[in-house]
Structure 1
Amino acid sequence: MRYMREELIRFRHCDPAGIVFYPRFLEIVNDTVEDWFDDMGFPFQHMKERFGAGVPTVNLNIRFQSPCRQADLLQLELVCNRIGDSSIDLSIGANRAGNPVFEAQVVLCFTTVGEQVKKRPIPAEIRQQIFQYTNTGSAVTA
């Protein structure tokens, strides 16, 4: 399955030239990851209390393909490429009316929280939910 959501480009996303300022795309990538976890039943605001875990981004690559302007509607699609012991590799693509806008490759690592942050195994119930997004079957929409 693939996780899908939409993002309306707003004035706050745009620079004085009227196009999306590129760091805003990174925020959209992070919002997509956060919404995905929330929709799977694991909101970030409860990860520390529920699992003693955080899920920081440890690697991020993004290829920009076309600019966006205010009022554009992005279709975002997330798929999990790999599940490791403590990390997951994700692809997040954005399209506008079928035209590619960006493609991001994101690696998240499950960690302990507190003074000493160390990687930790992905909790079994989270792993089970993530596993559903590793194939290329039908879409799940937010």
Structure 2
Amino acid sequence: MKKDFAYAVELPYWQAPNDDLVLKSQGDSLTAFFKIWISPSRYSRFTGIFDFSCVWAVRYERNKELSYYNERDDDDFVSCYWVVPESSWLEKLKKERCSFFPEWEKYDVGEYFHYIIQSDSFYVEIIAKDIKISRRKLGVLY
């Protein structure tokens, strides 16, 4: 597999494409809230939620092009997030961590993944062990 090739994973909800994410971080968890459409420009009473656990690193960058990763799956999903299975960023983080704590993998068990979620004009990249996607009625958000 090519390094930094991202593949799309379809979301179970239609993320409103012109709205920003609301990010909430606590400890090693990151939660991103997004508005849901039930049809074009018609909002649902529910808010979508990305819950990331065992977060190692987060970065975000303003969109430079239509797709942040030039090399990614073409898809016809109305909404998705991406996973980068051969991530140079994750590889760099692991090497850096090994230089300070060579046996860290004996104590930090489990596999980390490189996820990408999209806000209106930003991509948010997360290195974490797990992602859960759900929805909640509006008004009971944060």
TM > 0.5: no
Q: Which has the higher strand share?
A: 2
Q: TM-score band, normalised by the shorter chain?
A: under 0.3
Q: Which has the higher helix share?
A: 1
Structure-2-length-normalised TM-score: 0.26
Structure-1-length-normalised TM-score: 0.26
